[in-house]
Amino acid sequence: MANPIPYSILDISPIPQGFTAGDALRNSLDVARHAEKWGYTRYWVAEHHNMTGNASSATAVLIAYLAGGTSRIRVGSGGVMLPNHAPLVIAEQFGTLETLYPGRIDLGLGRAPGTDQMTARALRRDLLGSEDRFPQDVRELQHYFGPISEGQAVKAIPGANTEVPIWILGSSLYGAQLAAHFGLPYAFASHFAPEQLLEAMKIYRELFKPSDTLDKPYSAFVMNVVAADSDEEAQHLYTTLQQNVVRMRRNTRGQLPPPIADLDEFCEPHEKAAAAHTLQVSVVGSLETIRKGMRQWLEVTGASEMIFTGQIFDHQARLKSFEIAAQAAQSL
């Protein structure tokens, strides 16, 4: 294929059982460096809070670490949860990142808090930055990243004139409609919320209005990818993610667990079925299995780009999975 579809990575810097947040952050940098060699377009990290298994809470700080340790790959947020922050602060943070690493920074924006309500209150105590203000906050960010106008009282320095690319992220139809209305690129979080993926992609394309940013729709979707030399090995590695989803539903989250021999011994049949539903946008297996799954999801979504995420306990196995995923994407 002369022009393969772009493929990227979404990372939450998972902390495996028995390891530390420092280990997880160093692992993320190692994955990003390999991803750059394997042809990945961008490396995004997601903002989560009050979760003992994720180390990506200080998203802008982590992006600086990853961008500083790589040289070409785009680095950004997938995403910054905008209700947690004043737009000016985000404009200054990402304006600084773009100033330090020009042409390599993305700002993906989410509407959810990325945590529980008590933690959301601790993050931004007055909660004025609620999801109801999300469209206005996006416009405010665009304003800060643009040229300074005459008489402008509040400026983002650094930030002004950087034109940091903004993406709208979502797991429902709302984000698709907003991204289409603003003429911005759109990414759907189908790796954990698959129900409205196809409808959201369709709505985004149908309602899209060209803008100064984008003249035609550009969409991406996130899929779980667990790849290995054989289908059997990949299925074994995949039990880590399956356990994680079951534990989230039980409200017993923790650090990333190692894979297990028999998932049926860990959970009830209804829990296993619920996890399978949550994880339906997943490709698990050897190179050929992964390639076939990617092709099928591209056909049904009509997406412009694929974003892979992979919560795998062993770091070397995780690296190999992303390497096989890149090989599969290059050969579609």
What whole-number distance in Å separates Cα of residue 14 and Cα of residue 52? 9
Confidence of residue 125 (pLDDT cuts 50, 70, 90): very low
Instruction: Quote the pLDDT of residue 1.
Output: 42
Instruction: Quote the pLDDT of residue 126.
Output: 55
Instruction: Quote the pLDDT of residue 123.
Output: 59
Instruction: Quote the pLDDT of residue 178.
Output: 97
CATH classification (class only), 7-233+252-257+281-330: alpha beta
* Token pair in block for residue 194: 């698959």
* Token pair in block for residue 69: 């340790």
Instruction: Quote the pLDDT of residue 121.
Output: 64
Q: Which of 22, 112, 103 is nearest to 65 (CA)?
A: 22
Q: Which of 202, 179, 199, 187 is nearest to 309 (CA)?
A: 187
Q: Which of 100-114, 140-154, 178-192, 270-284 has the lowest mean pLDDT?
A: 100-114
What are the tens digits of pLDDT across the range 201-246? 999 999 999 999 999 999 999 999 999 999 999 999 999 999 999 9
Q: Is 79 helix (H, G, I), strand (E, B) or coil?
A: strand
Instruction: Quote the pLDDT of residue 118.
Output: 63
In the DSSP assignment, the letter for residue 160 is T
Instruction: Quote the pLDDT of residue 91.
Output: 98
* Token pair in block for residue 231: 């289908």
The single residue listed with the structure tokens 């008590």 is 118
| Domain boundaries, given as residue ranges, for the chain | 7-233+252-257+281-330
Q: Are 82 and 90 in contact (CB under 8 A)?
A: yes
* Token pair in block for residue 166: 């903004």
Cα–Cα separations (whole angstroms), residue 37 to 40, 185, 208, 320: 8, 25, 34, 13
pLDDT tops 70 at residue 122 = no
325 phi/psi in degrees, rounded to 5:
-60, -40
Q: Exposed e or buried b for every residue in 90-118, given b needs 16+ CB within 10 A?
A: bbbbbbbbbeebeebbbbbbbbbbbbeee
Mean pLDDT of the chain: 94
H or E, element range at 201: helix 197-207
Q: Which of 196, 219, 199 is nearest to 208 (CA)?
A: 219
| Residue scoring higher pLDDT (278 or 253) | 278
Q: Is 98 helix (H, G, I), strand (E, B) or coil?
A: helix
Instruction: Quote the pLDDT of residue 168.
Output: 98
User: For a pLDDT cut of 90, what percent of the chain falls above it?
Assistant: 88
DSSP 30-77: HHHHHHHHTT-SEEEE----S-TTB--SSHHHHHHHHHHT-SSSEEEE
- Rounded to an integer, the average pLDDT of 254-280 is 96
